[in-house]
Amino acid sequence: MCELLGMNANVPTDIVFSFTGLMQRGGRTGPHKDGWGVAFYEGRGVRLFQDPAPGCDSEVAQLVQRFPIKSEVVIAHVRQANVGQVCLANTHPFVRELWGRNWCFAHNGQLTAFTGRRDFYCPVGDTDSEAVFCDLLNRIRGAFADDAPVQLLLPLLLNACAEYRRQGVFNCLLSNGQWLFGFCSTKLARITRRAPFGPAHLKDVELEVDFHAQTTANDVVTVLATEALTDNEQWTLFQPGEWGLWAAGECIASGRLD
Amino acid sequence: MCELLGMNANVPTDIVFSFTGLMQRGGRTGPHKDGWGVAFYEGRGVRLFQDPAPGCDSEVAQLVQRFPIKSEVVIAHVRQANVGQVCLANTHPFVRELWGRNWCFAHNGQLTAFTGRRDFYCPVGDTDSEAVFCDLLNRIRGAFADDAPVQLLLPLLLNACAEYRRQGVFNCLLSNGQWLFGFCSTKLARITRRAPFGPAHLKDVELEVDFHAQTTANDVVTVLATEALTDNEQWTLFQPGEWGLWAAGECIASGRLD
């Protein structure tokens, strides 16, 4: 299994604090030693840092922690391999261009023997996760001729999630840089931080941050993670089948599949 | 205009020496201050480091210079913007997945008012270069149903290059991780290093490397660059219209368009 981290905010926001907590689970406080990756959207571009080395001692991860990239949408992942060998091509998040935007996907869980239809998007590596992502994009492309607003995509997206979770464990994060979608099949938590901001303390390493000093009164920042990253804040657990869609830090749609 | 750097070798090879020279041209010894990028193939995966900040003082570039990633195919680029603003989405190299492989492209030159057909691959940014890359991949995908060996692709590739260079300056590097293709419309140089290896001295910064100490007798390493990067070795200049294809460090096909 793996751990997911997603962030969506209404202003470019530094993810270093949460990312530092996640990286501890990459081989130190958690067993997810088979690589890690993080995608930061920057305008329409995306910065992707990945390493098949454990997050807790990856030199690239240390750079990311020193280098406060601010972003409105971030998707990160630490991996404990089940399907597919440990190599760069099997490291989440996965990115593909669709309709002139970078779509980014990370998955926690396992879909044993998943086989997508071989179509336009093909997996580069050999994980079930990348095969699911390609299958999902192939469905979207097959159903819509051109750039469709996410509200129109939602029924297709939810049908696909329902199908994938029948085949295994399927917690996922998906974004095209404009919104962040999260689906919980078994385990996912969320928190939305807004004024008045207070201090937050990481569970996985002795580190506290005072968000009040780093934010303005108008900032809204939502974080999704497999497990709560802090131990002094109230995280909400998703129920199995629950999903949400965030833009500019706010939830714009949500629901629960049977 | 911009500067290109490509490397293809028969063993995973450290590009730090050449990359260090190229980065000096990113704002110090050259005017290419509008971003830089480098793609390292690692198996079927690709590591892409990019920054819209000048190469000579980019923190990510310093990481890449400290971090000796070894790769068999590398494509790097420093940018002096002509078409498109300075931002991450406009930073070369560009990457797209085709037939389950990461294809990577960098361009030196300018194709004023290039308009590709809007098709499967769409540009994310607003450079002529990315539009050309998408056009090229759309042609390949339109002509071949599935993974075709590069020898079968060559006629299409060369026809496309001929067409692009009629529209402007078009020096380019292209790879799918298995081979490296280079096309010269106006300016490109190459060198193939093999035993006996000797010392090499960068033109752009006081730095010498003794390749003899870093290589075995069987290593073959070809470097392509807009201009010679060293001042004590014999680089070969491409003629306008000349192209080459390299695999495992060796030239496997070459020619010249009228």
Copy the structure tokens of residue A180: 């962040």
Cβ atoms within 10 Å, residue B121: 26
Query: Structural domain boundaries of chain A?
Result: 2-256
Neighbours of B2 (CB within 10 A): 26
Residues from chain A contacting residue B144 (CB–CB below 8 Å): none
Amino acid in the structure at residue B228:
A
What DSSP designation does B132 have? H
**Residues B113 and B166 sit within 8 Å (Cβ to Cβ):** no
E strands, chain A, in order: 2-14, 36-42, 45-51, 70-79, 94-98, 101-110, 169-175, 180-183, 189-194, 199-201, 208-210, 220-225, 236-237, 242-247, 250-256
B52: left (phi over 0), alpha (psi -120 to 50) or beta: alpha
CATH code for A2-256?
A: 3.60.20.10
Which residues of A are known to be catalytic?
2
What is the distance of C-alpha B98 from the center of its chain? 18
ipTM over 0.90: yes
Closest CA–CA distance from residue B138 to any residue of chain A (Å): 12
Both tokens assigned to B133: 């890359």
| H/E stretch holding B133 | helix B128-143
Helix axes A16-25, A59-66, angle to 10 degrees: 160
Amino acid in the structure at residue B181: F
Query: Which pLDDT band holds residue B247 (cuts at 50, 70, 90)?
Result: very high
Which residue among B46, B63, B89 places its CB closest to the CB of A44? B89
A106 φ/ψ sector (left φ>0, alpha ψ -120 to 50, else beta): beta
C-alpha torsion angle, residues B62, B65, B68, B72 (rounded to 10):
120
CA A130, CA A146: separation in Å to the nearest integer?
Answer: 23
Residues of chain A with C-beta less than 8 angstroms from the C-beta of B125: 44-45
pLDDT tens, N- to C-terminus, chain A (258 residues): 689 999 999 999 988 888 888 888 766 776 777 888 999 999 999 999 998 887 677 778 887 887 778 899 999 998 877 777 889 999 999 999 999 999 999 999 999 889 877 789 999 999 999 999 999 999 999 999 888 999 999 999 999 999 999 999 999 999 999 999 999 999 999 999 999 998 888 888 888 888 888 888 999 999 999 999 999 999 999 999 999 999 999 999 999 998
A124·B88 Cβ contact <8 A: no
Q: Give the chain B residue nearest A51 (alpha carbons).
A: B47
B124 contacts in A (CB within 8 Å)? 44-45, 97, 100-102
Chain A residue with minimum CA distance to B62: A63
Provide the 8-state DSSP code for B118.
P
Q: CA A48, A53, A54, A60: dihedral to nearest 10 degrees? A: -50
Enumerate chain A positions whose Cβ falls within 8 A of a Cβ in B: 42-48, 50, 59-60, 63, 67, 87-91, 96-97, 99-102, 120-125
CA distances from A206 to A17, A25, A68, A202, B241 (A): 11, 13, 19, 7, 60
Q: Give the 3-state secondary structure of residue B106.
A: strand
Task: Residue A60: list chain B partners with CB under 8 A.
Answer: 63, 67
Distance from CA of A109 to the nearest CA of B (A): 22
pLDDT in tens, B141-164: 999 988 899 999 999 999 999 999
Chain B residues lying within 8 Å of A99, measured CB to CB: 122
- Closest by CA to B199, choosing from B17, B14, B12, is B17
Contact A102 B124 (CB under 8 A): yes
A67 vs B59: CB contact, 8 Å cut-off? Answer: yes
* Residues of B taking part in catalysis: 2
